Amino acid sequence: MACVEVAVFSPLPGSFTYSWPEELGEACAGIRVRVPFGKGFRNGVVLRLLRSAPEGVELKTISDRLDVQPLYDAARMQWLDRVRRYYLATHGEVWQLALAWAAHDDHRRFRCPDIGAFEKAYPLLAGLFINKRALSLKKMAAGLVTAPLVHAVHSACHAGLLNEVIQKPLLEHSEGKPFELQLTEAQTIAVDHVTGAAGFTPFLLFGCTGSGKTEVYLRAAAEMIRRGGRVLVLVPEIGLTPMWIARLQARFARVAVWHSAMTERERLAVRQHLDHTDILIGTRSALFLPLPHLSMIVVDEEHDGSFKQLDGIAYSARDMAVLLAQQLNIPIVLGSATPSLESWRQAEAGHYQRIDLASRIAVHALQVKPKIIDMRQVDGPVSPQLQHALQQTLEAGDQSILFLNRRGYAPALQCCACGDVPQCPACSMSLTLHRKAAQLRCHSCGFSRRVPLCCEACGEPALMPMGDGTEKLDEWLTEHLPALRFARFDRDMVTSHTRLSEILAAFERRELDCLLGTQMLVKGHDFPHVTLVGVINADQGMSLPDFRAGERWWQQMTQVTGRAGRGDKPGHMLIQTRMPDAPWLSRIGESEAEATMHEELELRRMLNYPPFARWVRVLFSAAHADRAVQAAEAFASRCHDLSDVMISGPMPCPLERVAGRYRFEVLLRDVSRQLLPWKLAALLDTLPVPSGVRRRVDVDPQDM
Ligand code: ADP
Ligand code: ZN
């Protein structure tokens, strides 16, 4: 009897063996199946075929086959297994994540051209099509209790007795125009490098905003497609996709887009046309779409934190894209004006090939020199200087952008009088305010202390949690600049893609004078009429407890400077801060990039922080604090078996209680980068998670 090993979509570790019934046709790896599991049924993926059944075990039988053809080829299956091992996930978890794109089968619709012939061949399914000529799988399943349904539908399709209804492609096929611009010398060299790569080669394309990186991706992509390949472009935010789609459609005939805000029917359309897609642009989950003949990957704005998933498997789409490129033996281009230190380090070590696009192409788009505004004596969110500048910009008929960095949930404390932010004595991090416990804590080493009553730098009783929300600013603008037509542009808005496009279009048509937004706004958009950029509170990002706070803050501010003055008018940038002397402030700007990254990298090297060490955070949560602590302690004590790995904790998470659960974490640090995460796998497997406790592993945590 044929047997198969199945990754069942469940959080249980390991895979499961089932027998394969003949009536489902030939078994193969990489297809989804429906299996009896526990008391019910679940879906899963066939990992491999087994030669012989394990002895003495009575196997359950696969109930239905959900795919005719494998969804992934062997190379992608191997890649996915590497993803699983790296993030210490179970088979079920990783496949569920990967196949989210295929989970909308219910919406597939089928027509029956000849009901009589169909009834004869599939008496079990007879009746379904009596009056309705098109049915969805979901409706069919409702009308039929006996499995295997999906398999029957597939074979009926194969026999021509059913026809699947094909959705219209989301993006019309366009002409695909020839390139007009003459590439600069630097661009030509970059394109030649990428298209000349033999097999797996990671490139770090380093160039300031407007230096022509996108043009390089497009040219290289065109060449790859000309040779018969396909290209995947990953972008951090769906906010960037409208701009990308416009640019891609101007050049390429068969473009597809993929992001989280698409409807199920739209997803189905992408999937149905995947074989006829030359270039796929999408956010991180697009990585898992099995684009055939993939021959190049582009990760734009590679430094962006949005590539890291925060719930479920905490994977980094950028890092896994590199792994995929390696598995498929193809080039990958990581592009940024402000590369991540991870990629910068890889380039320094010679693992990535760095390509520089030195200067901006547009002559007018000179570097904007930011003006620092000291907010220590100012009441309210907007300084008189910024108010004045907004007014003037409005009167000149130009547009402005206000940037409010709201990242981070647990605010730090800051002294309103002198700007000081309490720091950990042992780490280069600021301390996080834990309101409930009235403590300041370090998230790196676990150090904690009571919240001081007065600032220790200047003695004033002026310590305040930092943060002006968008609502507050909204109110202020309505009251003080009533003539200003503005809109808020943040993550809350972007759950609707239409709304996002509307706002952007209105801004482009100049029906809005000002956009007020979070980091989403600073990425990649090209706003030719923006001459003023105001940063409401620069300190908000700078003093997060994360050791990466400085790096991120600098990346964002530098990206912000790229938004001002891209057209033919000079731009202004005003930065409001309560720490006007902070060293990062003098570093803002693309011309400072190399020196800044070099310096920060040296600091990380000295401190043995990532990217020099590999960190893994293991989080335990439970409804009762005791249970979470006990589980965390049991885990931490077992970790001592991992010699050469440094262990901190258990300590309470910055957000100690979430949705009624108490959370504690253990941080493991591996300076050698050889042990983690792999050594941890066996330990996690042998250490059962107590009931009522949830355990979550985060390899390369980004938010510390
Ligand atoms: P980046 O992706 O680095 O921000 P882009 O590729 O978007 O840069 O280029 C910035 C602007 O310069 C765009 O308007 C683009 O059309 C234009 N551009 C790019 N390359 C050239 C070139 N070789 N000659 C003229 N204009 C160019
Ligand atoms: Zn510390």
Q: Per-residue pLDDT tens for 579-615? A: 888 777 877 777 778 888 888 898 889 888 999 999 9
| The predicted structure's pLDDT at residue 168 | 85
| The predicted structure's pLDDT at residue 301 | 93
**Mean predicted confidence (pLDDT) in 13-24:** 91
Pick from 103, 120, 144: which residue ends a domain? 103
455 known member of a binding site: yes
Percent of residues, the chain, with pLDDT higher than 70: 89
- Nearest atom (ligand 1) to Cα of 361: 12
416 known member of a binding site: no
**Mean predicted confidence (pLDDT) in 318-338:** 97
Does 405 have pLDDT greater than 70?
Answer: no
| The predicted structure's pLDDT at residue 457 | 82
Same domain, 323 and 384: no
Residue 457 lies inside a defined structural domain of this protein = no
Q: Which band of pLDDT confidence, cut at 50, 70 and 90, is reported for residue 514? A: very high
Q: Of the candidates 339, 325, 81, which has an alpha carbon nearest to the alpha carbon of residue 197?
A: 325
Sequence-ordered list of residues with C-beta below 8 angstroms from that of 606, at least 6 positions apart, any chain: none
Cα–Cα distance for residue pair 677/422, rounded to 1 Å: 33
Q: Of the candidates 577, 581, 586, which has an alpha carbon nearest to the alpha carbon of residue 376?
A: 577
28 known member of a binding site: no
Percent of residues, the chain, with pLDDT higher than 90: 39
| The predicted structure's pLDDT at residue 47 | 96
Sequence-ordered list of residues with C-beta below 8 angstroms from that of 634, at least 6 positions apart, any chain: 687
Choosing from 185, 208, 214, 216 the residue with most ligand 1 atoms within 8 A of its CB, the one to mutate for a pocket test is 214
| The predicted structure's pLDDT at residue 500 | 74
Distance (angstroms) between ligand 1 centre and the Cα of 145 equals 58
Q: Is 214 in the pocket of ligand 1 (CB under 6 A)?
A: yes
- Nearest atom (ligand 1) to Cα of 337: 3
- Global model pTM greater than 0.90: no
Does 492 have pLDDT greater than 60?
Answer: no
Q: Per-residue pLDDT tens for 78-99? A: 999 999 999 999 999 999 999 9
Judged by phi (left if over 0) then psi (alpha if -120 to 50, else beta), residue 127 lies in left
Same domain, 310 and 390: no
| Residue 455 and residue 463 in contact, taking contact as beta carbons nearer than 8 Å | yes
Q: Which band of pLDDT confidence, cut at 50, 70 and 90, is reported for residue 567? A: low
Same domain, 98 and 155: no
Distance (angstroms) between ligand 1 centre and the Cα of 212 equals 4
**Mean predicted confidence (pLDDT) in 360-374:** 69
Higher pLDDT, 135 or 233: 233
Does 122 have pLDDT greater than 50?
Answer: yes
Cα–Cα distance for residue pair 415/47, rounded to 1 Å: 57
Q: Is 181 in the pocket of ligand 1 (CB under 6 A)?
A: yes
Same domain, 17 and 134: no
639 known member of a binding site: no
Q: Is 68 in the pocket of ligand 1 (CB under 6 A)?
A: no
Q: Is 336 in the pocket of ligand 1 (CB under 6 A)?
A: no
| Residue 431 and residue 440 in contact, taking contact as beta carbons nearer than 8 Å | yes
The CATH number given to whatever domain includes residue 264 is 3.40.50.300
Same domain, 405 and 529: yes
**Mean predicted confidence (pLDDT) in 241-246:** 84
Pick from 103, 123, 140: which residue ends a domain? 103
Residue 453 lies inside a defined structural domain of this protein = no
Q: What count of other Cβ atoms lies within 10 Å of the Cβ of residue 469?
A: 11
**Mean predicted confidence (pLDDT) in 675-694:** 87
Q: Is 93 in the pocket of ligand 1 (CB under 6 A)?
A: no
Pick from 563, 598, 633: which residue ends a domain? 598
Residue 660 lies inside a defined structural domain of this protein = yes
| The predicted structure's pLDDT at residue 409 | 32
- Nearest atom (ligand 1) to Cα of 362: 12
Same domain, 136 and 259: no
Residue 451 lies inside a defined structural domain of this protein = no
Q: Is 212 in the pocket of ligand 1 (CB under 6 A)?
A: yes
Same domain, 650 and 690: yes
157 known member of a binding site: no
Q: Is 213 in the pocket of ligand 1 (CB under 6 A)?
A: yes
Higher pLDDT, 365 or 701: 701
Q: Is 359 in the pocket of ligand 1 (CB under 6 A)?
A: no
Does 194 have pLDDT greater than 90?
Answer: yes
Domain span at 489: 371-409+467-598
Higher pLDDT, 363 or 181: 181
Atom 23 in ligand 1: residue holding the nearest Cα: 183
Distance (angstroms) between ligand 2 centre and the Cα of 654 equals 13
Does 7 have pLDDT greater than 90?
Answer: yes
Does 673 have pLDDT greater than 50?
Answer: yes
ipTM rounded to 2 decimals = 0.95
Q: Per-residue pLDDT tens for 214-230? A: 999 999 999 999 999 99
- Nearest atom (ligand 1) to Cα of 524: 4
Q: Which band of pLDDT confidence, cut at 50, 70 and 90, is reported for residue 494? A: low
| The predicted structure's pLDDT at residue 146 | 58
Kindly identify the ligand whose nearest atom is closest to the C-alpha of 545.
Answer: 2
* Domains: count for the chain: 5
**Mean predicted confidence (pLDDT) in 166-181:** 78
The average confidence (pLDDT) of the chain is 85
Sequence-ordered list of residues with C-beta below 8 angstroms from that of 15, at least 6 positions apart, any chain: 5, 6, 7, 8, 47, 91
Cα–Cα distance for residue pair 531/516, rounded to 1 Å: 14
| The predicted structure's pLDDT at residue 410 | 42
**Mean predicted confidence (pLDDT) in 423-427:** 73
| The predicted structure's pLDDT at residue 540 | 67
Same domain, 145 and 99: no
Q: Is 611 in the pocket of ligand 1 (CB under 6 A)?
A: no
